[in-house]
Structure 1
Amino acid sequence: LHFLVPWGLLLLVMVHLVFLHETGSTTKLYCHGDYDKVCFYPEYWVKDFLNVVVWLVFVVFSLMRPFFLGDPEMFIESDPMMSPVHIVPEWYFLFAYAILRAIPSKVLGVVSLFSSILVFFVFVLVDNYVSVLFKANKFFVFV
């Protein structure tokens, strides 16, 4: 399943691009007729081609020099009897690590960690955003 899903997704993207190439695209704001269609070929084809070239250069570089973009700490010889001193969490876990280290009690640390995550869900319930141009859905306030 993990092998077939990416291939199926790639097939769907290719079919989508073929249909977009054949029929063109319209914007939702200015959909007055056929003259507002955006052609796929000159503009978007060049952008997609440049993206493919950039990713292809990155893949070729990664295959030719696989360790060049890697972390230098991967090459330190490991000792199974002692954990290294320089271990730190990844950057996206640093807020949780700081909260857990700042509070000495384990239970209060875990509660404050969950509270720091749940506070973002409170923003969905707050409806103080007023806009004249765009009536925002509560989901988009969270996003």
Structure 2
Amino acid sequence: MKITKSELLRRIEALEEWASGADEMLTELNHALPDPEYDAMCEENAVAVEDSLDRRAARLGLKNPELTGSGYYHSRIASKLLERGQKLVMCFVSNVSESDALNEKTIEVITSVDAEFNDADDYGWQFVVPINNQGEPLTQAEVGL
């Protein structure tokens, strides 16, 4: 069987068209199939963005810092101590999390709380862990809460 040049070009064109269609279908399938790694990354980013927006809203006074929820256990203790009239509260501090404050052990004296916990230099901190003179975190029972 002899194939002419024009017939060969027509078949090559048909194959190229089929390959292009197959590439498009593969792309569509890749977008349609779940990607657990990408989904997890998107979820982490969404949580980080939400946390960042909450912190910014609190800094701008758009959100009253209701120190509630399991993530603010120690911060609530410090807030209550200041509300009761204690002028100075020695704390581990962080702008990342209470766990970071506990790990990093940066100590500041907190003097007030508004949108953030303010130290003696009027620097604001998002997370604080009140401590005793030995550098151990205070508990609710120890402070009478």
Common fold by TM > 0.5: no
TM range (shorter): under 0.3
> Higher strand share goes to which structure?
2
Larger CA Rg, structure 1 vs 2? 2
TM-score by length of 1: 0.22
